[in-house]
Amino acid sequence: MKKQHARFVFLLGGLMVGLMGGHVAQAEPSSQVVWDSATRHIVGSGNAVRGAANAEVCDSCHASAPGKSLRANFPRLAGQNPFYVYKQLMDYRANTRGHGVMQNFASQLTPAQMADLAAYYADQDLPGRPARQASPEVLRLVYRGDARRLIPPCAACHGRYGEGALVHVPALAGQEVSYFTTTMQAYKSGERANDLYSRMRYIAGQLTDGEIEALARYYAGTGR
Ligand code: HEC
Ligand code: HEC
């Protein structure tokens, strides 16, 4: 990433926290997960082999191995950032990310089991990569953002190839188009509100439906 971009993102990040901090402070916390050393230690101690032993039921909906059918609105987890997976499971359990089915599964897991499942998925390859070619509008949003709408580049947080980043920024590469679109619309409407500092809610709120769709296809690797 160019230095200039890094500074731009840093400034924007500060501005967004500044603008929305007051609002966030009064609202319910968007997540109860705090990345203190104890939590990092739990996720870092996740064991993929132990995770695999519990993953059969999860894989019936989340596996993306060739030949396995996957409902289009089920997120792919292969290669996903383990800190992100852990955080989502904790958020479902606490109902700060609402979803009946996932809340039910997450409530049956201990934090250590969540970390094991996160390690199991992190061990797998990402299911795909972003498209090699895309429209200039999509590439601009991904790599430059849009200063006019205060949108930082997606790649600044999600990585150059949509591979995700520390601490809990998810990978987007190879994600299902319809899941990607649905979850972005849920951020946009506020129905999904477990993102810290409302960053994704703000960004999704600035994007048009057409841009969301095009970004989903870009990250899924299917191009234009
Ligand atoms: C019956 C199908 C089903 C089963 C079984 C299932 N899930 Fe899910 N899972 C879903 C759906 C649908 C979503 C998307 C929900 C939403 O929009 O918030 C989801 C979301 C998730 C997410 C968030 C993904 C993201 O990209 O944000 C994680 C992590 C997850 N599930 C892990 C698990 C684990 C671990 C198990 C096993 C203990 C499991 N799931 C079992 C259907 C399922
Ligand atoms: C300031 C950093 C930042 C920027 C910039 C950013 N994101 Fe995110 N994004 C995040 C974080 C952190 C999360 C996870 C939030 C949570 O815990 O729910 C996330 C979550 C997502 C998700 C949900 C993934 C899933 O599996 O459910 C999608 C889709 C997404 N971002 C797309 C984008 C797109 C497209 C852009 C560019 C227009 C973008 N993001 C820009 C930090 C960022």
> What's the pLDDT tens digit per position in 179-204?
999 999 999 999 999 999 999 999 99
* Enclosing domain of residue 106: 37-122
Going from the Cα of 35 to the center of ligand 1, the distance in angstroms, rounded, reads 22
Determine contact, residues 211/120, Cβ cutoff 8 Å. Answer: no
Determine contact, residues 9/152, Cβ cutoff 8 Å. Answer: yes
Which amino acid does the sequence have at 181?
T
Which atom of ligand 1 is closest in space to residue 175's alpha carbon? Answer: 26
Which CATH number characterizes residue 108's domain?
1.10.760.10
Residue 223 CB burial class (10 angstroms; 0-12, 13-18, ≥19): middle
> For the whole model, what pTM was predicted?
0.90
Into how many domains does the chain fold? 2
Interior angle at CA 172, CA 135 and CA 15, nearest 5 = 85
Q: Is residue 171 part of a domain?
A: yes
Residues 103 and 179 in one domain: no
152 pLDDT above the threshold of 50? yes
Percent of the chain with pLDDT over 70: 83
Which atom of ligand 2 is closest in space to residue 219's alpha carbon? Answer: 35
Residues 98 and 118 in one domain: yes
Q: Is residue 21 part of a domain?
A: no
Going from the Cα of 89 to the center of ligand 2, the distance in angstroms, rounded, reads 17
5 pLDDT above the threshold of 60? no
User: 52 in ligand 1 pocket by Cβ < 6 Å?
Assistant: no
Q: How confident is the model at residue 30 (pLDDT cuts 50, 70, 90)?
A: confident
Going from the Cα of 70 to the center of ligand 1, the distance in angstroms, rounded, reads 12
Please count the other Cβ atoms lying within 10 Å of the Cβ belonging to residue 136: 7
Integer CA distances (angstroms), 127 to 78, 138, 154, 175, 211, in order: 6, 21, 19, 7, 22
* Per-residue model confidence as pLDDT tens digits over 83-110: 999 999 999 999 999 999 999 999 999 9
Nearest CA to ligand 2 atom 15: 195
Going from the Cα of 42 to the center of ligand 2, the distance in angstroms, rounded, reads 23
